[in-house]
A and B are shown apart, each in its own frame.
Chain A
């Protein structure tokens, strides 16, 4: 009964390179969320995806960042031309489909990918 899996756990990139972060949700979960945690900060929402659809990307920087959740395979968060300010822990979470107002399906978090940009 595997939880959310993320890989790699640690990723080091030089400025200008691309970073690809992978997330496999809990089996049966069709909703995936990406959050970023900067040092000494709380988690900040980036994007919410369902299979093959982006539902809410209001927290995602407009440039260099993209996310997908294909029909088959893991969700991918892609950061192009990384800069030092992208260094952070990136957490993926998954949940079952969302119910009505007043109810909630908790989000299960993965262990995170720690990105370091040199």
Chain B
């Protein structure tokens, strides 16, 4: 049973516009949420995170929003650039677990067209 769901396998956006990637989760014990970006044949690269005690975190062009009541988070990229084209993974940490393992969604492939 998937605890972290990314329901859109792919997303295509025009350069300069906003990209919105969505993620839903089921476990209320998750205390930290992260977004990772992954290029082909490379490991995931940390992008941005948010604690469950916050509802927004911003870092340059990237903003993550957390809606705890809906168990939903989203990543906004503004403005989108062709170099943002990659697979984006949403991940969550379960504080009730070993505190070490992250639970990943299946990813959303973002394509930013020039």
Contacts and interface: CB of A to CB of B under 8 A. Distances in A.
Contacts of A101: 31, 95
Contacts of A108: 46
Interface string B45-77: 110010111000000000000000000000000
A44 interface: yes
A110 interface: yes
Given A102-B51, A106-B49, A31 B105 contact: no
B114 interface: no
B78 to A, nearest CB: 23
Interface residues of A, number: 30
A76 to B, nearest CB: 18
A42 B101 contact: no
A110 B99 CA distance: 20
Interface of B: 4, 6, 31-32, 34, 36, 41-46, 49, 51-53, 89, 91, 93, 95, 97-107
10 contacts: A40-B106, A55-B100, A91-B44, A106-B46, A107-B46, A107-B102, A109-B44, A111-B41, A112-B41, A112-B42
Interface of A: 4, 6, 31, 33, 35, 40-45, 48, 55-56, 58-59, 91, 93, 98, 101-104, 106-112
